[in-house]
Structure 1
Amino acid sequence: MKATDLVVMRTHVRFLGRRFPRTIGRGGLTDAKCEGDGATPRGVHGIVGMLYRRDRMGRPADWALPIGPSDLWSDDVRDPDYNMMVRAPHAFGHEVLRRADPMYDIVILTNWNWPYPVKGRGSAIFVHQWRGPGRPTAGCIGLRRADLRWIAPRIQHNTRLVIA
């Protein structure tokens, strides 16, 4: 592992010599991720993008892109654009990226099952704001808001998300 990796440990995330409390998916860790299982997939995942709410904060990194009102993420295995960012209106199942709550004010995108998704293998493993300590995600990595804001500008082009 490299010093620039975000490393998910049993109780925290380690990054640049610091430790941050974290949450994972309600299904725990898995080596066999499936759509809807709520599990967090083990492995080494590349970081491929960052999204943020421009109406709620300044740009967290110079390469972050704003989330617009019609931005969605497809999580429907029937969708030809499964596990891709799509726009409303969208006829298939999806997740709204511009949420009323602050959970997706910063979204760090990984390359889990992307850019050539295997249908049913699971969509979108993000790093995003948690709901609170011990409150699981749907499979993503959740962090405190302040920690996510500290981490985001320090991510480099070679930073990876390592889930052991």
Structure 2
Amino acid sequence: MLVVVTSHAKARSGTLYLYEKQNGTWRKVLANIRVVVGKNGIGKQKEGDGKTPAGVYPLGTAFGTAKKPAGLKIPYRQTTAYDYWVDDPTSKDYNRWIYYRGNPHRRWKSFERLTHPLYKYAVVVRYNDSPIVKGKGSAIFLHIWPRPSSYTLGCIAMAEKDLLSVIKRLDAKKKPIILISEQKKL
């Protein structure tokens, strides 16, 4: 199972396709889904550069503030007020999902609350996690956009209905991966 995201050089928008292997042949099962990427395009090099990472990465668990959608074939975790993704490169928790009941401002210099409205539904893109390189970038997800003209700080975002279509097609048994690339303009 392959999710492909392409964007033109330095563009903030792109297109998502989903392919499944059927009888030994890759078939497009979702096409032309509009997405937005990092405010500085694709090609992440470091934490805070505003770019979406280029490359091929496994897709991890789905998560969100909403209840698990029916029929999901990938793991799903409903988030709480105690769920954070740490993007503080000085922390031992860097680029990890942490459940923490204390004051996050005392523990980390930077973090994301996983109860953010744009994370009603989301999927972890397993970027920089094997091994984790501090400062290379963190907290990369597929998630909901606020509007089609927006951008992200490194994630890939789309309309809620499109994200749900993608999530519902993903199957953990088929080891879904994502290919993120920049296209040259013709």
Deviation at 1:5, TM superposition (A): 1.1
Secondary structure of the residue aligned to 2:168 is: helix
Number of aligned residue pairs: 156
Residue in 2 that maps onto 1:9 = 6
Q: Deviations over 1:103-137 (max 9, x none)?
A: 00111001100143100000021000012112110
Matches within 5 A, 1:82-93: 82-88=94-100, 89=102, 90=104, 91-92=107-108, 93=110
CA distance in structure 1 between the partners assigned to 2:48 and 2:82 by the alignment: 23
Moved more, 10-19 or 40-49: 10-19
Residue in 2 that maps onto 1:160 = 177
- Contact 2:59/2:124, CA 8 A, preserved across alignment: yes
Change (3 A) 1:107 1:17: closer
Larger Rg: 2
Residue in 2 that maps onto 1:64 = 76
Secondary structure of the residue aligned to 2:157 is: strand
Letter in 1 for 2:53: P
Residue in 2 that maps onto 1:109 = 124
TM-score by structure 1 length?
A: 0.88
CA distance in structure 1 between the partners assigned to 2:165 and 2:123 by the alignment: 13
Matched, 1:50 2:62: yes
- Contact 1:77/1:119, CA 8 A, preserved across alignment: yes
- Contact 1:113/1:124, CA 8 A, preserved across alignment: no
- Contact 2:64/2:115, CA 8 A, preserved across alignment: no
Secondary structure of the residue aligned to 2:33 is: strand
Residue in 2 that maps onto 1:134 = 149
- Contact 2:36/2:145, CA 8 A, preserved across alignment: yes
TM-score by structure 2 length?
A: 0.78
Which ranges in structure 1 are unaligned for 5 or more consecutive residues?
none
Q: Deviations over 1:36-74 (max 9, x none)?
A: 111011100100211122xx3443525211111210000
CA distance in structure 1 between the partners assigned to 2:130 and 2:99 by the alignment: 17
Identity %: 27
Deviation at 1:17, TM superposition (A): 3.8
Residue in 1 that maps onto 2:38 = 25
CA distance in structure 1 between the partners assigned to 2:86 and 2:36 by the alignment: 23
